[in-house]
Amino acid sequence: MTYEVIGLDTNVIIAALDSRDVHHEAAVAFLEAHAFDFLTLPAAVYAEVLVLPEAKLAKRFLEAYRLRPVFAGMDGPAVWELAAQRYTRYVANRRRSRGGRPRRILADFLIGAQALALPGTGYVPALATLDAGFFKKYFPELRVYDLVS
């Protein structure tokens, strides 16, 4: 049997919090369908949630779904180096395609890198997101749950 450790991207939390968000129902349905799975909140996602205008509501929401921040892997260089490596590749791709200045921030890459680092032996790293194309391109090792399709 294969077990997954599913990291949640910030956009999933934001969509679940906002009943007017076009992806609200998909985000809530995913959280409810995976309520008994090992859902994690990467450190960068937790930081992004804390600066939302509805931060108090967000914290209550996280508690209701038993979503706690995970800081595993953030104390050593591996996650940071992987994030920097993938970000460097992204920047090079933007320049090569004449796409202009980078539109992504390093936190996006930290989310992907930490999602890869979280599982232990026998677990499959996964991430639920509304931005699957990005994570599939820069973190192909991740099992990506695309909540948009």
Q: Where are the domains of the chain?
A: 3-146
- Position 4 scores a pLDDT of 81
CATH fold, domain 3-146, is: Rossmann fold (3.40.50)
pLDDT > 70 in the chain, percent: 93
- Position 8 scores a pLDDT of 95
What pTM did the predictor assign?
A: 0.89
- Position 37 scores a pLDDT of 84
Q: Give the model confidence (pLDDT) of 97-146 as tens digits.
A: 777 676 778 899 999 999 888 766 567 889 999 999 999 999 999 999 99
How many whole angstroms separate alpha carbon 149 and alpha carbon 130?
9
Candidates 129, 89, 94, 99; CA nearest to 112 is 129
Token pair of 29, please?
A: 């349905």
Which parts of the chain are beta strand (E)? 3-8, 38-42, 69-70, 123-129, 143-146
pLDDT > 90 in the chain, percent: 58
Candidates 84, 147, 77; CA nearest to 112 is 84
Q: Give the model confidence (pLDDT) of 85-98 as tens digits.
A: 999 999 988 888 77
- Position 3 scores a pLDDT of 78
| Mean pLDDT, residues 2-26 taken together | 92
Flag whether pLDDT at 49 surpasses 80.
yes
How many whole angstroms separate alpha carbon 106 and alpha carbon 104?
7
DSSP state at residue 6: E
Flag whether pLDDT at 39 surpasses 80.
yes
